[in-house]
Amino acid sequence: MDKVSSSSEASAKVTSIFIYPVKSCRVISVSQAPLTPTGFRWDRQWIIVNQKGRAVTQRNEPKLALVEVELPKEAFLEGWEPTGGSYMVIKAPGMDVLKISLSKPHDVTDGVSLWEWSGSALDEGAEAANWFTKFLGKTSRLVRFNAASENRPVDPEYARGHNLMFSDQYPYMLLSQGSLDALNKLLNEPVPVNRFRPNLYISSILVCDSILVDGCEPFSEDLWTEVRINKFTFEGVKLCSRCKVKTKKLPFCFLFANNVFQVPTINQDTGIAGSEPSETLMKIRSDKVLRPNRKQQGKIYFGQNLVCKDSLTKGRGNVVKVGDPVFVLRKVSSAAEAAA
């Protein structure tokens, strides 16, 4: 059962805001980002697809971790709109620079699919297709979500009435520094936050330079069913699951059938996969450990999926900034009670 927090003090603060314009390519860290009904503006608006129109991600092409994406700094200002001279710049080792106009393309491609969803998308043209085809060594195209004609709802079992673009499941994902620190204490080689590709990275607030405000202990975000960041209310709808476990005599989660990798095992600087941190997460963050009396799905959990409960279609000020306070409004008592 949800418990209403009576504390008026912030439990944490926003440490970093991360945007991933092209799904599975490198992150952009920004000081602020406008909120939209489908997530932060520009987040996962583009994906690479293969010749059948299916999404290509790091799960089957780890080298996408090497693709660097840049947007104009002003793109993250509220109310900014691209002009004919506004571009997304894409770079990768051994490749020429690719510039993608931020003005919406006219060509529409049908039969694009990502997980459970299929529909049309805006095609970024031959130059982008040739660039990704050369980089990946197989026929590929770059497409943009067609917001004018397409809807991609989240799972109504967890959050009815919300939509997203090309994110995996929900518009926002939150992770705390406390959780990452706790994991890294168990690893021989610590991993950075970019292994987990969150949108919001938060940390505890220091009081008198040494005392941490209670509420942002390791894995405390598991329990949060409602939080306020600045003036915006977010619902914690579901623990973020990472993958179903398959071993097949190989190191845990290193290499799955059909060469499917688990993204947290991929070094985002090199594009090379290993076995960690998934082997350790399985020991401390599996449903068998966290939810022993629930149906076992062979999943591990790290982070909390969010939707924004506020209407973001009217008015100004729809921006979240680094340093914004995080207030926990409602929470459950244990991870076993959290939706997953």
Q: Where are the alpha helices (DSSP H) in 21-156?
A: 126-136
Give pLDDT tens digits for 255-275.
333 456 789 999 999 999 999
Q: Structure tokens of 193?
A: 């936050």
What is the predicted pLDDT for the residue at 94? 98
Banded model confidence at residue 211, pLDDT cuts 50, 70, 90:
very low
Q: State the average pLDDT for the chain.
A: 90
Give 36-39 contacts, CB < 8 A, sequence gap 24+. 36/312, 36/318, 37/162, 37/163, 37/171, 37/308, 37/312, 37/313, 38/147, 38/163, 38/164, 38/165, 38/171, 39/164, 39/165, 39/167, 39/171, 39/172, 39/199
pLDDT recorded at residue 291: 93
Residues 68-119 have pLDDT tens digits of 999 999 999 999 999 999 999 999 999 999 999 999 888 999 999 999 999 9
Q: Cβ distance 44 to 23 under 8 Å?
A: yes
Q: How many CA atoms lie within 13 A of 301 on its CB side?
A: 24
Pull the structure tokens for residue 120.
Answer: 């049309």
What pLDDT was estimated at residue 312?
Answer: 79
Contacts for 6 with CB less than 8 Å, ≥ 6 apart = none
Residue-wise pLDDT for 286-338, tens only, equals 999 999 999 888 899 999 999 999 987 665 789 999 999 999 999 999 999 99
The predicted-structure confidence for 168-188, as pLDDT tens digits, reads as follows: 999 999 999 999 999 999 999
The mean per-residue pLDDT over the stretch 221-242 comes to: 95
| pLDDT (0 to 100) of residue 129 | 98
State how far the Cα of 173 lies from the Cα of 264, in Å rounded to an integer: 14
Backbone angles phi, psi at 27, to 5 degrees: -85, 155
Assign 128 to helix, strand or coil: helix
CB atoms within 10 A of CB 20: 23
| Of 205, 203, 204, residue with least CA distance to 193 | 203
Write the pLDDT tens digit of every residue in 122-139: 999 999 999 999 999 999
Q: pLDDT (tens digit, 9 = 90+) per residue, 144-169? A: 999 999 999 999 999 999 999 999 99
